[in-house]
Amino acid sequence: MDVVVNGPPGALLLMDGQAKGTLPLPVNLSVPAGQHRFRLQLGKQSVESDPLNFQGSGQAELNLTLSARTLVATLRITDGLLWLTSHETLRPLIAESIAQSASKHHAVLISGEREKQYLRNQTEILKCFEECGSSAPLLPEGQVSYALLVQIENGTPDASPSCLVRASLLDIRTREVSARTEEPATPCRIAELSAVSARLTSTLLQDTLTRPRGTISVTSNPPGARVRIDGRWIGMTPLQQEVFSGTRVIEVEREKYVTQQQKVTIESGDTATVQAALVRLPSAPLPRPLWRLVSGGILIGGGLLTMGFGGAALGIHGTCQDSSKDAATCSPYYNTQGVGIGLLSAGAILTAGGALMIAIPSR
């Protein structure tokens, strides 16, 4: 579990007797599942907490408070925030500011090996800020709640007098961009960029946390249709998806069918249901029924086999039955011309009939 530890600055933190560093820790604490004890040493004071149970993976916030001679430890499960940026050189310089801003809204900035693992899928995640190209899960469910994209435009860090910082927050559960904002940074220096990025992160998280949510349930006949909300693709039917509340435009589309569109009001905490009976386009041919495909295949196979026999019959016409080489004197000899022509004709008819049975569109 990825854990942010809050406690008295300057105190030495120990977990299960092993020193982990002085608070505040520069990186999140990686805590394996199970029970663990925490101890703080501050000056001559040394106090230990009761055992805390950590379950599974994800993010958490651990608040350690010194009270007389006891250590009060409070564990809170939090949202995971994955930070994306095209300026990788800035990552170690302003990560702490973004992490502190996120922690104020009980979110944990993912770092370390887990960050590297998730960023391998960065290209697909970045696409989702416009529209997701796949209905597959973007990130492990329950481990990442948001993806934060920070872009610096109209300037170069530590080289331009000013620049513009744009930030967007992708809500992983709804697969929607929950908020966007921007702010100029003057001067375009690391200190100012750090402060602006922290403010934008706080604004985005606050706006997202206060947006009410509901659920949309969409089915279609036939199934396997794409579902769009306000023009943004979120998945395939049958679909049950958490979405932001409000009046939303739902589109259900499938190749060769008329797209259905309707407005749906999604109330906070409620589930809105959409059932789409799709109508096939008049210009779209119906699929061939299975019996026609099977029958046509049998006719084509039988026709080709019959034509093969006809060709063999014509091949031996006029040759000697006694294996002699003199066709003028041998007796009897094969007279199979009529049979060969008949078999070839019948095979051609069967093959053509089978092909037509498969090729002709259904009504």
Band (pLDDT 50/70/90 cuts) for residue 323 is low
Of 115, 206, 210, which Cα lies nearest the Cα of 167? Answer: 206
For 246, phi then psi, to 5°, come to 125, -175
Q: Specify if 284 maps to a domain.
A: no
Band (pLDDT 50/70/90 cuts) for residue 273 is very high
Q: Specify if 282 maps to a domain.
A: no
Q: What is the DSSP annotation of 199-230?
A: HHHHHHHHHHHHS-EEEEEEEEESS--EEEET
User: Which pLDDT belongs to residue 158?
Assistant: 85
User: Which pLDDT belongs to residue 362?
Assistant: 64
pTM over 0.85: no
Final residue belonging to a domain, choices 187, 210, 233:
210
Final residue belonging to a domain, choices 243, 277, 311:
277
The yes-or-no verdict on residue 61 having pLDDT over 90 is no
CA distance 159 to 154: 11
Tell me, rounded to whole angstroms, the distance of Cα 186 from its chain centroid. 37
The yes-or-no verdict on residue 361 having pLDDT over 80 is no
If one counts the domains in the chain, the total is 4
Q: Specify if 322 maps to a domain.
A: yes
Q: Specify if 352 maps to a domain.
A: yes
84 and 69 in one domain? no
173 and 251 in one domain? no
User: Which pLDDT belongs to residue 202?
Assistant: 95
Final residue belonging to a domain, choices 231, 248, 277:
277
99 and 72 in one domain? no
Residue ranges making up the domain that contains 342? 290-359
Radius of gyration of the chain (CA): 36
Q: What are the tens digits of pLDDT across the range 297-314?
A: 888 888 899 888 888 888
CA–CA–CA angle 151, 200, 26 (5° rounding): 90
Q: Specify if 340 maps to a domain.
A: yes
95 and 194 in one domain? yes
Q: What are the tens digits of pLDDT across the range 332-345?
A: 677 788 888 888 88
